[in-house]
Structure 1
Amino acid sequence: MLCTALTRGAIQNGGRVIENCNVTDLLVEDTSEGKELVGVATSYGNIKTKTVVNATGVWGRDLVQKHGSYLPLIPMKHSYIISETIPGVRGIPNIRDHDYSTYFRIQGDAICMGGYEPNPIILEPVAKDFHFGLYDLDWSLFDVHLNGAIKLCPSYGNYGVKSTICGPESFTPDHKPLMGPDTVINGLYHNCGFNSAGMMFGGGCGEQTALWIINGKPDLAMFSFDLRRFTVAQNRDTQWIRERSHESYAKNYSMVFKYDQPLAGRNFQKDPLHEDMLAQNAFMEEKQGWERPGFFMKEKAQVLPYDWYGCYGNTRHAESAYEEALEGDLKYSEFSDHHKLIGEEALACRNAAAIFNMSYFCKLVMSGPDAQKAADWIFSANTNREANKTVYTCVLNSSGGVEADVTVSRLNSGTGAVHDPKFTGQGYYIVAGGASAYYTYSTLLAEIRQKGFNVTLRDITSDLGVISIQGPRSRGILQRIIDCDLSNESIPPNGTQVTSVKCPTNKGEQVGVRVLRVSFVGELGYELHVPKEHCSAVYQSLLAVGKPDGVRNAGYRALYSLSSEKGYHLWSFDLRPDDTPIEAGLSFTCRKNGDYKGKMAIDRQHNEGIRRRLVYLTLNEQVPIWGLEGVYRNGEAVGFLRRAEFGYALGKSIGQAYVSRKDGEIIDNDYVTQGTYEVDILGKRYKAECHLRSPFDPDGKRILGIY
């Protein structure tokens, strides 16, 4: 009925529907700018078009793979049963039981029952003529749901089964759809991989896909559904896709915890310091396929090969120190078991020095005759600075929303080493967060191609490691092994320089590096961008010479805590494509002169004011916050926490939220500061203090080395 109604609506608005018309291929041409979509081949002939939406479900990967594009999608059998008539069920609510991974969905006077078993049947490519086909139900697999349903509702077992439904369904590595523009074929969009949630997501995802095509972007923050959340390497690796999609299927009804980590598809990409991190007892996390240190434990807790939760003839790991440590993070009403350990890392950074392995960060070089033109258009800040100056800037969409926040360093042409690239024309070194690395790269590349800039954009992420040392003693420690002067006069804040490091732990070897004086945590600090083959020697040397000053390893859990405490942003959380720099308190990144993408929207907000803005909320009570908690001003809901951490130097939880007025009018500082605030945590409201900027070091003295 729904499909019929949508079809009629499309026809009434000028659309055409051609039934029983098999799509046999995409028509793609190679151009100087890459692959261009020019049409669709069907059983009735070719259709010329420059825009196509791939909504082919389980066939979505097969359709595009022959053209060099890959989707992280696999088909599995998915089932439910429909009961005989059960008196009294009409009109009662649907039920989802997370313990039994089972659901009841009311259909008239009957119950549809199904769930997510731990051992679904993973299919080979589904036959092209199976679009209305069904499989016989495998009761040996489905019995786990039937038994759970009867335990949940014993009377359900008194009624028979009217019919069974078992068909092919498409599943993805994180149980979320695949949407957005294809990264290989220009003109192709995806709207598939709905993980049996097509009825729930279909309307909204269809609307956003249409807006994507018409306006070049969706209206909502869609990164969690955007296919660019996965890398090309992940999309090409069928074993990784199978492992992760299986785990996501099996855990679909599991409770979602902020710090949970996948067990499948691990060790997919390792940075140059991976073995060093394991030797230091790092508890590793996974982001966009990369392993990164979350925090450092007293004992080893390494990731084991995926055991498929004991399914498909695999034996479940009898013991796993990693899973035991992970259990300590699966909490809501209390802090993580590792809360104190992470706090020690964070406070070491605030009081002495800490070393962070940031090697998985995105690292790009943009160079060529039009590099300055490209930088002027793509970046909101003024990057036309003297060489060796690093600028923090945003990349905006046409509505002024933040597609990425990056640091950009203007370079002189160098020796040709990976940390000192050689080029003609102008050159820029761009660094972005690792969790959205491919999205950032794709966004920049798409803009370059659309505007026709004569530049190259090289991804050198895998070739360079990043070792960051931060804290009051960082300068003194680093000065012991680096060949350049680290004084304010030589390398001021946001300065960068090509130099070398002497590695006493490796027979005094001299290693060429790029040093940047930047900080993600709000402290005096430096980043060393090091060729991958020398990362271990530089790291070990820095650790050795810093030992007398109390230098300590620190992971991303401490990094995010420190960053939030300082009031810095984390893209896709408190900074998204539907947030503008003005709303986010980043107006300093938007230059007044010249033109850049999104500038009209920024100028409009400058002139007219904003209707929501980012604020910082701290709680005096020792209670954990996780994000998405409701924010109340004078008893009235005004927003929710986008990001939440515990600030160890402040000694309290801190969260970021965008607040707005109920009447939708312009919001000013007085409105923000004159209210009384509360945060709703698990149904209980806690008093909160609201700040226009973070209360930690609001004048930014520490980053200048003023303590």
Structure 2
Amino acid sequence: MSTPSKADVVIVGGGITGCAIAYHLTKIGVTDVVLCERKQLTCGTTWHAAGLVTQLRATRNMTELAKYTGELFRELETETGQATGFKQNGSVRVAGNEARFEELKRGASMARNFGLPADVISAEEIKERWPLVNVDDLLGGIWMPNDGQINPADVTLAMAKGARMRGAKVLENTPVKKVIVENGRAVGVELPDGEIRADKVVIAGGMWSREFAAQIGVSLPLHAAEHFYIVTESMEGLTRDLPVLFVGHECSYYKEDAGKLLLGCFEPEAKPWGHEGIPEDFSFDSLPEDFEHFEPILEQAVKRVPQLEETGIQLFFNGPESFTPDDRYLLGETPEVRDLFCACGFNSVGILSSGGVGKALASWIKDGHSPMELADVDVRRMQPFQSNSKYLYDRTKETLGLLYKMHWPYRQYETARDVRKSPFHDRLLAMGASMTEAAGYERPGFFAGDGSSTEIGYSFGPQSWFDDAKRESLNTETNVTLFDQSCYVKFRVEGRDACKVLNHVSANNVDVEPGKVVYTQWLNERGGIEADVTITRLSETAYMVVTIVASQMRDFSWLQRHIPEDAHAIVTDVSPAMAMLALMGPKSRALLQKVSTADLSNEGFPFGTSREIEIGYAMVRASRLTYVGELGWELYIPSDFALHVFDRIVETGDEFGLQCGGFFAINSMRMEKAYRHWGHDIGEDDTPVEAGLSFAVDFDKPSGFIGQSAVVAQRQAGVPTKRLVQFQLSEIETPPLLYHEEPIWKDDKIVGSITSGGYGHRIGRSLGMGYVHCEDGVGKDFLRDGGFEIEVACERYSAEPSLSPFLDPSRSRTQS
């Protein structure tokens, strides 16, 4: 087949993901597609994958992608005539301890949200479904009948065939040297003997993607690791319909494979591979055996499936798969280069994700936006430093094993830490801070009380820091607490068109007097929330935008790409140059007044005001805001003055009961006030009207804004059919804690799910927020009818709903 010189889309990489993207592009009418594979289809990782097809993921949309994948595999052979090896034999996940059993039961509750059948089963029922397994020490498990398995190579060939049938060109033995970039856009690819010009380019190159993208300054943080499995000789009693068996506490999985048993593992400490580069000729290759590394897994397996002791091993396999720093894949348009898309770093879930990824990215490429909220896997969540090879090498040792470790709430990474630190880091450690990580940034989770440990004792109930967070919350209510929020991201936007640009991007009106802070959202054309920010007007031509650290690349790219070419406005990320402290509590004014000469009275410095004040010998920008529901100020400090300001506040704080607080307490307090968190409670599928944020929208702004027509139409339609509601569980002795995706029931019907949760220490209740759906509208009357319950680990608990915060709904504390 001759190589074309032009195409609508060029895909680099012929594994299952690249072929799925080509297949789905042609299915929606984008048929001028060229897929370039350096050697043969599936030759990198796909060919040796285990082929597990499970459907329950951590969030609704990730589950929807996996569900679609299973549905696609079921129909693919009929459509293309190419065998896929698909069988829907279900899966059994088992628990060997109470914590694992609760994790599984919470997963079963979550599955009900998504319409997935998931049944809690006893050890005896596990034995009925998997007769060869030893269940003597098992407490139970869950049965998921819709799961299954496929032959990955056959599925890949089927999707490639389907793509060809609709006009795509699939070119094997066609290596791509480089993506061609002109004026910040991908316009094609360079081959050894020519080029292919294209409107869009997709990197789906598996473990080669990081180095390939780095050539053009694009960061795709992933690293290969060795993945081990064995295949036994024929084993008596293995039926073709035997379910896939997952034994998470032993890091292992089992599946029937043509009358043999495949045993694979995700061991606690992995072996990164390819650190010095992956050989160019690597194709259908395996890595050297390491039986000593695999032996602990096999020893447990022999006890779990005793027949293994009498069965020979036909194949010991070791092959590479790629992993990302947070165990979530990389998807979407890259922030560095427009019209360049990626789908890579699949963390051993590439097969079960492939169909959904192909469908979602095809739609994204055609329509210019993702078809659903995909923040979990959006490549823009990553930081450029995370492509550092040493960082990836160290983190990959941990991330492979995390797939099967307990998925504890607030679990912290143990490897590749202490990367990004605030100027206060060492002082906070000396004061008892337990550091947690967000986007590589070290920030206090809590401060250990006298004699307590800074280590986190994990649990689905109150964790080891529960009492510390309570102390910090109550101190914030009665005295004053200092929070290090330096991890927050700050952009400076300046130029004669800065106001015009920001007003077009922002739903609220930012054309205010200098010294005013505006809370607002950045919306897409559909009215969905792309970012949740505060914007401070510094002068007629300058603004400061503040957002969360997880959105640093995403929000910078969004803003930059919405500046017209002829506009005079420049965006600069000034985060490293500016530390940030939050001083919160009823005594914050008195303390701050002691170290500053500024007028901090309610009349002289009202809520939403920002101005420069003196603290010690420094000039500090103080903004009267709060994310905890108490009187307070955010202090933005030049980094070279940060320690001086910190020391002045701390040395003055004793007489006001000053303590330091961490982000666990912040989460508790923001839940009491029903303050939203982007990525949990609000996202690109949620509008301000649905999220209860209409107060932050200037619906009639004359200059208009992105998404205005969508949100105006929704407001005019009346009571929304989807609404973010706050819940508190009924007052019982030991209420469960809510985290995310717990089903919300009303009158024996699931009407929504929890988006985030926490325990409110100031009101003494377990809290959650979640979207509730009702065709007749989610208004006060609907909520007043009652009948609400929230399901946790397969048990339901009575819950009280509210559209107002349970703490200080009149805002008297923050406005005083």
TM value normalised by structure 1: 0.89
Is residue 258 of structure 1 aligned with residue 258 of structure 2? no
Q: Distance in 2 between matches of 1:704 and 1:185?
A: 44
SS in 1 for 2:241: coil
The 5 Å alignment of 1:115-264 reads: 115-117=265-267, 118-123=269-274, 124-235=276-387, 237-264=388-415
Q: Which amino acid aligns with 1:658?
A: Y
Shift of 1:187: 1.6
Q: Which amino acid aligns with 1:539?
A: F
Q: Output one character per residue of 1:213-242: Cα deviation in whole Å (capped at 9) or x when no partner.
A: 22232122222212222211222x221111
Q: Distance in 2 between matches of 1:454 and 1:108?
A: 66
Among 515, 523, 529, the residue aligned to 1:402: 529
Instruction: Tell me how large the CA RMSD over aligned residues is.
Output: 1.8
The structure-2 alpha-carbon separation of the partners of 1:82 and 1:453, relative to structure 1 and needing over 3 Å to count, comes to farther
Among 630, 644, 647, the residue aligned to 1:523: 630
Q: Is the 8 A contact 2:187 2:201 kept in 1?
A: no
Is residue 702 of structure 1 aligned with residue 813 of structure 2? yes
Shift of 1:665: 5.1
SS in 1 for 2:668: helix
Q: Distance in 1 between matches of 2:477 and 2:231?
A: 60
Among 235, 241, 257, the residue aligned to 1:107: 257
Aligned to 1:80: 229
Q: Is the 8 A contact 2:727 2:768 kept in 1?
A: yes
Aligned to 1:605: 714
Aligned to 2:424: 273
**Residues 510-519 or 156-165, more deviating:** 156-165
Is residue 36 of structure 1 aligned with residue 185 of structure 2? yes
Q: Distance in 1 between matches of 2:232 and 2:566?
A: 60
Aligned to 1:343: 470
Q: Distance in 2 between matches of 1:208 and 1:350?
A: 46
SS in 2 for 1:185: coil
Q: Output one character per residue of 1:296-347: Cα deviation in whole Å (capped at 9) or x when no partner.
A: 113699xxxxxxxxxxxxxxxxxxx65xx22x2x101x31122111101001
Q: Is the 8 A contact 2:447 2:661 kept in 1?
A: yes
Is residue 692 of structure 1 aligned with residue 803 of structure 2? yes
Q: Distance in 1 between matches of 2:409 and 2:557?
A: 27
**Residues 669-678 or 471-480, more deviating:** 669-678
Over the matched positions of the two proteins, sequence identity in percent amounts to 31
**Which structure 2 segments of 5+ residues have no match?**
1-153
Aligned to 1:673: 784
Shift of 1:676: 0.9
Q: Distance in 2 between matches of 1:652 and 1:557?
A: 16
Shift of 1:426: 1.5
Shift of 1:369: 2.2
The structure-2 alpha-carbon separation of the partners of 1:573 and 1:452, relative to structure 1 and needing over 3 Å to count, comes to farther
Q: Is the 8 A contact 2:335 2:553 kept in 1?
A: no
Q: Distance in 2 between matches of 1:128 and 1:601?
A: 50
Aligned to 2:686: 579
Aligned to 1:304: none
Q: Is the 8 A contact 1:627 1:644 kept in 2?
A: yes
The structure-2 alpha-carbon separation of the partners of 1:114 and 1:404, relative to structure 1 and needing over 3 Å to count, comes to same
Aligned to 1:546: 653
Q: Distance in 1 between matches of 2:287 and 2:393?
A: 21
Aligned to 1:462: 576
Aligned to 2:161: 8
SS in 2 for 1:51: strand
Q: Output one character per residue of 1:415-442: Cα deviation in whole Å (capped at 9) or x when no partner.
A: xxxxxxxxxx611111112232232222
Aligned to 1:615: 725
Q: Is the 8 A contact 1:243 1:265 kept in 2?
A: yes
Q: Is the 8 A contact 1:281 1:300 kept in 2?
A: no
Q: Distance in 1 between matches of 2:640 and 2:431?
A: 19
Q: Distance in 2 between matches of 1:397 and 1:151?
A: 55
Q: Output one character per residue of 1:106-159: Cα deviation in whole Å (capped at 9) or x when no partner.
A: 234222211123242422322222232223433222223322221211112322
The 5 Å alignment of 1:472-483 reads: 472-483=586-597
Q: Distance in 2 between matches of 1:399 and 1:582?
A: 12
Q: Output one character per residue of 1:380-408: Cα deviation in whole Å (capped at 9) or x when no partner.
A: 10001111110000011222111111110
The structure-2 alpha-carbon separation of the partners of 1:635 and 1:372, relative to structure 1 and needing over 3 Å to count, comes to same
The 5 Å alignment of 1:297-316 reads: 297-298=448-449
The structure-2 alpha-carbon separation of the partners of 1:14 and 1:668, relative to structure 1 and needing over 3 Å to count, comes to farther
Q: Is the 8 A contact 1:150 1:157 kept in 2?
A: yes
The structure-2 alpha-carbon separation of the partners of 1:215 and 1:299, relative to structure 1 and needing over 3 Å to count, comes to farther
Q: Distance in 2 between matches of 1:246 and 1:154?
A: 30
Q: Is the 8 A contact 2:272 2:396 kept in 1?
A: no
Is residue 288 of structure 1 aligned with residue 439 of structure 2? yes
Q: Distance in 1 between matches of 2:780 and 2:439?
A: 38
**Which structure 1 segments of 5+ residues have no match?**
302-320, 413-424, 503-509
Q: Is the 8 A contact 1:401 1:578 kept in 2?
A: yes
Q: Is the 8 A contact 2:272 2:393 kept in 1?
A: no
Shift of 1:604: 2.2
Among 742, 750, 762, the residue aligned to 1:637: 750
Aligned to 1:589: 696
Aligned to 1:95: 245
Shift of 1:85: 2.6
Among 425, 432, 441, the residue aligned to 2:556: 441
Among 589, 611, 614, the residue aligned to 1:500: 614
Q: Is the 8 A contact 1:282 1:300 kept in 2?
A: no
SS in 2 for 1:480: helix
The structure-2 alpha-carbon separation of the partners of 1:161 and 1:390, relative to structure 1 and needing over 3 Å to count, comes to same
Q: Output one character per residue of 1:527-548: Cα deviation in whole Å (capped at 9) or x when no partner.
A: 1111112212212221222211
Q: Distance in 2 between matches of 1:247 and 1:172?
A: 11
Q: Which amino acid aligns with 2:223?
A: I
The 5 Å alignment of 1:411-430 reads: 411-412=538-539, 426-430=541-545
The structure-2 alpha-carbon separation of the partners of 1:47 and 1:657, relative to structure 1 and needing over 3 Å to count, comes to same
Aligned to 1:415: none
Shift of 1:641: 1.1
TM value normalised by structure 2: 0.78
Q: Distance in 2 between matches of 1:580 and 1:537?
A: 42
Q: Is the 8 A contact 1:175 1:252 kept in 2?
A: yes
Q: Distance in 2 between matches of 1:194 and 1:563?
A: 34
The structure-2 alpha-carbon separation of the partners of 1:121 and 1:560, relative to structure 1 and needing over 3 Å to count, comes to closer
Q: Is the 8 A contact 2:180 2:188 kept in 1?
A: yes
Q: Distance in 1 between matches of 2:235 and 2:784?
A: 57
Q: Output one character per residue of 1:598-632: Cα deviation in whole Å (capped at 9) or x when no partner.
A: 11221221122432110011012232222222211
Q: Distance in 2 between matches of 1:142 and 1:337?
A: 34
Is residue 486 of structure 1 aligned with residue 600 of structure 2? yes
Shift of 1:553: 0.9
Q: Which amino acid aligns with 1:249?
A: L
Q: Is the 8 A contact 2:270 2:400 kept in 1?
A: no
Residue correspondences, number: 654
Q: Distance in 2 between matches of 1:526 and 1:398?
A: 34
Among 666, 675, 690, the residue aligned to 1:559: 666
Q: Is the 8 A contact 1:499 1:513 kept in 2?
A: yes
Aligned to 2:132: none
Q: Which has the higher contact order (CA 8 A, sep 6+)?
A: 2
Q: Is the 8 A contact 1:522 1:563 kept in 2?
A: yes
Q: Is the 8 A contact 2:506 2:522 kept in 1?
A: yes
Q: Which amino acid aligns with 2:161?
A: R
Q: Distance in 1 between matches of 2:174 and 2:566?
A: 37
Q: Output one character per residue of 1:443-497: Cα deviation in whole Å (capped at 9) or x when no partner.
A: 2222226x65331111111111111111111111111111210112221110011
Aligned to 1:309: none
SS in 2 for 1:497: strand
